[in-house]
Amino acid sequence: MIAWTQYEIGNHRLRCPACGRGERDKTLGLTIEADGKGVAHCFRCTFTESYRPERGARQKMPSVPRIKAVTTQKHETLSDYGRDLWSACKPLSGVAVAYLEGRCCVIPPADGDLRWHPALKHPTGSTGPALVARITDAVTCQPVSLHRTWIQADGRKADIDPPRLLLGGHRKQGGVIRLWPDEAVTVGLGVAEGIETALSLAWAYAPVWACIDAGNLAAFPVLPGIDALTIGADNDAAGAAAAKECSVRWADANREVYITKQAENDLNDAIKEAA
């Protein structure tokens, strides 16, 4: 607190007791009236203190400013950055093909929504080859996001955490990865959660799309012109529930529905085990 009785009547400049940075940092204005009353105010941090001879000093410390939570804007469609990144990606070749073959996956057609980048930077700062998949709205086909998987040529994901990332600030709900283009989808379609699982299903049934996760698979809408749906279900609680919810919707719309079953967690595990 300020030693009020040490100052004479008049105006004074002092170091602020709240934000002062040194003896020469005199941001506090202090005024003593003829009746002994006084008031002090910092011009930087809003610290104030008042003084009355009969009751002493009262001070008000500067309030801590409220920090607003930073919210990331959600892009309803693919941002300019996402479009530029997609344009910079190449058709599947080299390390990307080696990775998929190492995972016993079918190589999808070049006009599908799966490409690769030879030196994509990860948020950790690491740079390396990555599969880049374009996510489009299942109904409107509008690009909404990108899915990236950092990879190695031996069929393993890169040794970084996490090796798979969606593009920040973009929605994935209602999105799919069209591994085969719409033109290839005539009367039937295969779907699965992950890219590798969908490309494993493609050994038995194509064209295929990836729904990214169980939530999107569960919500996969009935699409016009598709009479039969084959679901490559993951063998876990979430995968089974998603496949059932999706199958009921399509069956209620009088479409044929088939669901795969395997002892392993997913079709890709089953195919690698058999290879």
Q: In the structure, what pLDDT confidence band is assigned to residue 65 with cuts at 50, 70 and 90?
A: low
Q: Is the dihedral of CA 150, 155, 161, 164 positive or negative?
A: positive
Q: Is pLDDT at 105 greater than 80 in this prediction?
A: yes
User: Which amino acid, one-letter code, is at 93?
Assistant: S
Q: Is the dihedral of CA 107, 109, 113, 117 positive or negative?
A: positive
Cα of first residue to Cα of last residue in the chain, in angstroms, is 79
The lowest-confidence range among 62-71, 154-163, 231-240 is 62-71
Q: In the structure, what pLDDT confidence band is assigned to residue 68 with cuts at 50, 70 and 90?
A: low
Mean pLDDT for the stretch of residues 12-28: 85
The tokens describing 126, both together, are: 């690491």
Pick from 45, 35, 40: nearest CA to 12 = 40
User: Percent of the chain scored above 70 by pLDDT?
Assistant: 94
Query: What single DSSP character describes residue 172?
Result: -
Q: Is pLDDT at 69 greater than 60 in this prediction?
A: no
The tokens describing 37, both together, are: 């009353």
What pLDDT is stored for residue 225 in this prediction?
95
The tokens describing 153, both together, are: 């040529």
Q: Is pLDDT at 37 greater than 50 in this prediction?
A: yes
What pLDDT is stored for residue 274 in this prediction?
66
**What value does the CA radius of gyration of the chain take, rounded to a whole number of Å?**
32
Q: Is pLDDT at 269 greater than 50 in this prediction?
A: yes
What pLDDT is stored for residue 27 in this prediction?
86
What pLDDT is stored for residue 62 in this prediction?
62
| 198, β-bridge pairs | none
What pLDDT is stored for residue 139 in this prediction?
97
Q: In this predicted model, which residue has the larger pLDDT, 4 or 124?
A: 124
For residues 12 and 122, what is the distance between their CA atoms, to the nearest angstrom? 57
For residues 227 and 240, what is the distance between their CA atoms, to the nearest angstrom? 22
Helix H segments across 65-137? 80-88, 94-102
What pLDDT is stored for residue 67 in this prediction?
46
**pLDDT tens sequence across 209-241:** 999 999 999 999 999 999 999 999 999 999 999
| 256, β-bridge pairs | 228
**pLDDT tens sequence across 130-147:** 999 999 999 999 999 999
User: Which amino acid, one-letter code, is at 27?
Assistant: T
